Chains A and B, each alone.
Chain A
Amino acid sequence: MPELFASGTALGALAVAALFATLVRGPMLALVYPVTALAAAGLAVVDLRVLLAGSDVAARLPIGLPTIGLHLRLDVVSAFFGVVINGGVLAASVYGMGFDRAKELTPRVEPLFPLFAAAMNMVLIADDAYGFLFSWELMSLASWALVVARHTDPESRRAAHLYLVMAAIGTAALLFAFGGLAGPAGGYAFDTVRAHPPVLLVAALVLAAALVGCGSKGGLIPLHAWLPLAHPAAPSHVSALMSGVMTKVAIYGFVRIAFDLLGPPAWWWALPPIVLGVMTAVLGLLYAVFDRDLKRVLAYSTIENIGVIFVALGLALAFRANGQHEAAAVAMAAALLHALNHSWFKSLLFLGAGAVLHATGRRDLDGLGGLIHRMPRTAAFFLVGALAISALPPLNGFVSEWLLFQAVIAAPALPQAALHFASPAIGAMLALAAALAAACFVRVYGTAFLGRPRSAEAAAAHDVPLAQQIAMGGLALLCILGGLLGGALTMVLSPVLRELAGGALPGAATGPTMFSLVAFDPARSIYDAPIIALFVAIASLTTLVVVHRVSERRTRRGPAWDCGFPDPSAVTQYTASSFAQPLRRVYGAVFFSARETVAMPPPGDTQAARFSVTLVDHVWRTLYAAPGRALLRLSERLNALQFLTIRRYLALMFAALVILLAITAVTT
């Protein structure tokens, strides 16, 4: 009970902060951030306590639906996702404390920030359909208002419009899902739902609706189109929340419905999340690798990570349905850890992008460059995030990736032929996604932070205020620690894994050292990050000492060699577009109908030659643009109905009445 009381106080503080910020103007708005930071820290502590204690707290308030009231419950699953969310909120609030009080605060952003944070927490503690959907919608609307904060920009307005449409579709799908879960008796409290799992056909429909509802919020392809527009349009610390944290609420929603409310799974439930997830992972990164806007690249990479999490969830469903609880725990641990890790490095990267945007005013990769010299701290933190998201050891992204590969490697043991034969394809596609992620982030870091500045703004950049550096530094530290202590983290997750997967990981105690990450048993697969990191550190330090001892130590600075013909102009460097060229040649033609055209002037003509590339977004064209046009055409046709004479309206009503009566007569 004290946990719920503390949570309530923190949520109340967030509400008060939001209300207060709507009433004040100017520098006072800055107070929002310390309050949000404190509330998030408090909520995170409560969540951690519940997670470590492994027992849930519940309450029932006399508000909400008249017959059942408002059910609240903080179980280990909610507590885990609470830790994910409040960590991100805390970092974003600390980042917000670094804003310039005179210039960077607006009543369009600051009042909504705590509201958004509170809404996400409320989704987690809701224990009935009404509370869940109310909080979910509050979260959607608050984030929508934050996206539209820069309303004078037509891009933002377009992004916000699309987001609103997709959020409405998502919520409608969830409404349908909870309707199906409640059944004809209408039990909207989650414990009633749990007691009466739906029949097979209804379960399938609920699963589909949950995939649409949560997938559209998380960015599962083909429901992703709003995400790369809306996430970058918001202010950067809000982008960090939307991409790093809100997508995890979507994952929570799917986990809650598919693993908890729907009852024991059937094996084929695994197929839609796996198929969509694999598609999302690969396509999301291909979008990212060809995009030239820093924040949009990050948003597309979020899509990829959500895909990876859904693949892991799908595998967990498959293993659990077959009673392979140990493997289910490995897959579930991969999903949960990846959600946690992604919330850290994606928040870090978005905050870094915000720092770059603040320092240079630019988001286009081809206008940046050389920031590592002018923003050394941001550059160092961003590097940690970029390497972590590329799933490179010994950072945290690799821990979840490793667990996921272990789950894939165990998949051939599943009895169903479909899953059996899908496993190599899943493994290959995930490996492709991991390699593409590395390419994508080498490209981002190489063009934005390395090389020489490509614009005057990039050449005049400066590092950001201390608070923002602390926010990024803290997240970077978490990425490193999470990579080293992955084995311990899976132990903390044990109660969640037992709840969702019916098993847990064997634990470091079975491995050779106390930090080992062991997937099934130590003889089968093992990854000992601290040992590896220690040996890499020892090896590099020894090398440093030995090489400096035996070698010529002088270092001369000189112009770049560049095969003897260095060009002083910064435009001769490789750009983001040129970096993507080999990948475009290999993957672009298949997925994006990429076409390169070279307009070469005839010999003797002094005109410049032109090179242009066209990429076609087939998903947008077939699933968004075409239905949109059809809808527009239909409504234009129907528009004629607005200008009829009264006689015709009366005739229409008469006809409608006759048809209805005829239908009634036939059916009864």
Chain B
Amino acid sequence: MTRDLVLQFLAQGAQMTFVLLIAPLAVGVVRRVKARLMRRQGAPLLQGYYDLAKLLRKESVVAESASWLFRSAPYLIFALTWVAAALVPSFASGLMFNWAADVVALVALLGAARALLALAGMDVGTSFGGIGSSREMMIATLAEPAMMLIVLTLAIAAGTTRLAGVADFFIAEPFAVRVSLALSFIALIIVALAENARIPVDNPVTHLELTMVHEAMVLEYSGRHLALIEAASHLKLVLYLSLLVCLFAPFGMAPANAGIVGWAIGLAAWTAKVLAGAALLGVWEVSIAKMRVFRLPDFVGIAFVFGFLAILLAFLTRGVFA
């Protein structure tokens, strides 16, 4: 019993470490794929780690008008995103955290990180910070209803809102391909693009301030604070990639109490899937242009409509949810 608990604890700790370690690599893969498709050489795959190390070595410059909120927000944002990322079953289901929160709580944890970031953007009292914060919150009002519809569809299909439960359901019935789930999958991809400030919603490498959303909010950050914010946004990308693969491609995931070997296989599968997802994101980003901010309701609206259709189809095909 005690040995089991220790093992569980270690597995959970391992998951938290793996998510943290793979995040800069995933971003490196996205950037590398984009660069190669644009026929550039591109930065090394490990550039994300080098950037973080560089930022940590630099001193932080904090604006004179900044308050304690500005300085403490990066730590909280990083911690909230990290815990949220660890809540998503990655290489195994049935870990400790699978019993701590369901997908509704997961979305809300990310919401808390976002609200803190938006507040930090307002703290210095500059116009760019305000632009970023207000647009970020607007995008959230578009993405959250769509996300809720996706959650509802999954709950109707699997009978639970616990992510591990949904994953177990999909492992048990891998060939139950349903149109409603395909629609939710597309909707979740759109929500993930919006939440992660990726093209076409926002451009993470932009240098034109007026089109920035996420980057405008964090414009005042430097040094270790910026490193934490960057690390948190990498974590969020891995979180959504894990979420997509955990829900829609859970093969290889170790079931509860799988033991060391099962976990090792699960870990390899998960790493491969997340990096493949990152590569696909790179392909997607070079093949589409960024949208104007006020075209976003149309784009995220697609997620909403697909989410709604998914539920209606789920009603029609499955009837009532047990």
- CA–CA, A442 to B130, complex, Å? 11
Closest beta carbon of chain A to B108's beta carbon, Å: 5
- A526 contacts B100, CB within 8 Å? yes
4 new A-B contacts, CB < 8 A, other than A372-B69, A439-B138, A582-B293, are A428-B145, A436-B141, A551-B56, A566-B126
A526 B99 Cβ-Cβ under 8 A: yes
- Kindly list chain B residues whose C-beta atoms are within 8 Å of the C-beta of A554: 59-60
Within the complex, what minimum Cβ distance (angstroms) separates B93 from chain A?
Answer: 12
Give chain B residues whose Cβ lies under 8 Å from the Cβ of A447: 122
**Chain B residue, CB-CB nearest to A424:** B311
Q: Does A64 contact B (CB under 8 A)?
A: no
Give the distance in Å from the alpha carbon of A581 to the alpha carbon of B127 in the complex.
13
Q: Are A532 and B124 in contact (CB under 8 A)?
A: no
Give Cα A532–Cα B67 distance, bound, in whole angstroms.
Answer: 27
* Contact partners of A439 in chain B: CB under 8 A: 134, 137-138, 140-141
Contact with B along A388-426 (1 / 0, CB 8 A): 001111000010011001101110110100001101100
Verify A573–B100 contact, CB threshold 8 A.
no
Binds A, one of B30-38, B147-155, B198-206, B247-255: B147-155
Which residues of A have CB within 8 Å of B57?
551-552
Q: A442-B137, A552-B59, A579-B134 are in contact. Are A370 and B65 (CB under 8 A)?
A: yes
Q: A559 to chain B: closest CB distance in Å?
A: 6
Task: For A450, list chain B residues within 8 Å (CB).
Answer: 67, 69, 119, 122-123, 125
B149 near A428 (CB under 8 angstroms)?
Answer: yes
Is the beta-carbon distance between B308 and A581 smaller than 8 angstroms? no
From A163-171, A234-242, A533-541, give the one contacting chain B. Answer: A533-541
Instruction: Point out the residues of chain B lying under 8 angstroms from A567, CB to CB.
Output: 127
Per the bound structure, the CA–CA distance linking A223 and B60 in Å amounts to: 52
Taking a contact as CB atoms closer than 8 A, the residue among B119, B138, B311 that contacts A586 in the complex is B138
State the Cβ distance, B186 to closest chain A Cβ, in Å.
17
Task: Tell yes or no: B62 within 8 A of A by CB.
Answer: yes
In this complex, how many residues of chain B approach chain A with their Cβ under 8 Å: the count is: 93
Contact B228 A558 (CB under 8 A): no
- Give B99's nearest chain A residue, CB to CB: A512
Q: Which residues of A contact B160 (CB under 8 A)?
A: 523-525
Identity of the chain A residue whose Cβ is nearest the Cβ of B132 in the assembled complex: A574
> How far is it, in angstroms, between the C-alpha of A450 and the C-alpha of B71 when the chains are bound?
13
* Distance of B216 from chain A, by nearest CB (Å): 9
Contacts of A585 in B (CB 8 A): 294
Which secondary structure dominates chain B's binding surface?
Answer: helix
Q: In the complex, what residues of B have CB within 8 A of residue A512's CB?
A: 99
A373-B67, A563-B209 known; A446 vs B133 contact (CB < 8 Å): yes
Cβ of A381 < 8 Å from any Cβ of B? no
Q: Which of B67, B133, B148 contacts A431 (CB 8 A)?
A: B148
**Binary CB contact string for chain A from 514 to 527 against chain B (1 if under 8 A, 0 otherwise):** 00100000111111
On chain B, the residues within 8 Å of A369 by CB distance are 125
CB atoms of A424 and B149 under 8 A apart: yes
Residues of B within 8 A of A446 (CB): 118-119, 121-123, 130, 133
Q: A452-B125, A547-B228 are in contact. Are A409 and B140 (CB under 8 A)?
A: no
Our pick among B109, B133, B145, B151 for the contact of A532 (Cβ within 8 Å) is: B109
- List chain A residues, Cβ under 8 A from B111: 390-392, 434-435, 438
Q: Mark B280-322, 1 if CB is under 8 A from A, else 0.
A: 0000000000000110010000001001100110010000111
A651 within 8 A of B: no
B99 touches A431 (CB 8 A): no
Given the contacts A428-B304, A526-B99, A586-B294, A558 and B64 also touching, CB distance less than 8 Å: yes
Q: How far is the CA of A602 from the CA of B214 in the complex (A)?
A: 36
Contact residues in A for B137 (Cβ distance below 8 Å): 435, 438-439, 442-443, 582-583
The A110-138 residues at the B interface (CB cut-off 8 A) are none
Q: How far is A560 from B63 in the complex, measured between Cα atoms in Å?
A: 5
Quick check: A535 and B83 within 8 Å, CB to CB? yes
Q: Indicate if the CB atoms of A560 and B161 lie closer than 8 Å.
A: no
Q: Shortest 5 CB-CB distances between A and B: which pairs?
A: A574-B130, A446-B122, A451-B125, A540-B79, A431-B148
Which residue from B133, B145, B162, B308 sits with its C-beta under 8 Å from A579?
B133
B209: chain A residues within 8 A (beta carbon): 563
A550 lies within 8 A of chain B by Cβ: yes
A14–B297 alpha-carbon span in the complex (Å): 54
What is the bound-complex CA distance between A581 and B133, given in angstroms? Answer: 12
Tell me, yes or no, whether A48 is within 8 Å of chain B by CB. no
Complex Cα–Cα for A445 and B146 (A): 26
13 A–B contact pairs at CB < 8 A?
A370-B65, A392-B112, A412-B321, A427-B152, A535-B97, A536-B79, A540-B76, A544-B75, A562-B128, A562-B220, A572-B127, A574-B130, A587-B141
Find chain A residues with CB under 8 A from B62 CB: 555-558
Residues of A within 8 A of B112 (CB): 387, 392-393
The bracket for how many chain A residues form the interface is 35 or more
Interface set of A (CB-CB < 8 Å, partner B): 369-370, 372-373, 383, 387, 390-393, 398, 401-402, 405-406, 408-410, 412-413, 415, 420-421, 423-424, 427-432, 434-436, 438-439, 441-443, 445-447, 450-452, 511-512, 516, 522-528, 531-532, 535-537, 539-540, 543-544, 547, 550-552, 554-563, 566-567, 570, 572-574, 578-583, 585-587
Which residues of B are found within 8 Å of A556, using beta-carbon distances? 59-62
Cβ–Cβ < 8 Å partners of A583 in chain B: 134, 137-138, 141
Cβ–Cβ contact B65 & A580, under 8 A: no
Chain A residues with CB under 8 Å of B119's CB are 442, 445-446, 450
Any A CB within 8 A of the CB of B270: no
B162 touches A524 (CB 8 A): yes
**Which B residues touch A558, using CB under 8 A?**
61-64
Name B128-176 residues within 8 Å CB distance of A: 128-131, 133-135, 137-138, 140-149, 151-152, 155-156, 159-162, 165
Chain B residues contacting A551 (CB-CB under 8 Å) are 56-57, 223-224, 227
- Specify which chain B residues have a CB less than 8 angstroms from the CB of A372 in the assembled complex: 67-69, 123
B183 at the A/B interface (Cβ < 8 Å)? no
The answer to whether B156 touches A412 (Cβ under 8 A) is yes
Distance (whole angstroms) from the CB of A85 to the closest CB of chain B = 28
Which one of A532, A550, A559 contacts B64 once the chains associate, using CB atoms below 8 Å? A559
In whole angstroms, what is the CA distance A434 to B62 when docked? 32
Whole-angstrom CA separation of A85 from B311 in the bound complex: 40
Q: A452 vs B67: C-alpha distance in the bound complex, in angstroms?
A: 10
With the chains together, A535 CA to B97 CA distance in Å? Answer: 10
Q: Contact: A442 with B115, CB < 8 Å?
A: yes
The one of A413, A421, A432, A572 that contacts B145, using a Cβ cutoff of 8 Å: A432
A502 CB to nearest B CB, Å: 21
Query: Which residues of the other chain, A, contact B143 by a CB distance below 8 angstroms?
Result: 435
> Chain B's nearest CB lies how many Å from the CB of A306?
20
Report the Cα distance A431→B143, complex, angstroms.
9
Shortest Cβ distance from residue A666 to the other chain B in the assembled complex, whole angstroms:
55
Known contacts A428-B148, A446-B118, A526-B100; A550/B105 CB under 8 A: no
- Determine if A402 and B220 form an interchain contact, defined as CB atoms under 8 angstroms apart: no
A contact residues around B82 at 8 Å (CB): 539, 543
Complexed CA–CA distance, A556 and B162 (Å)? 45
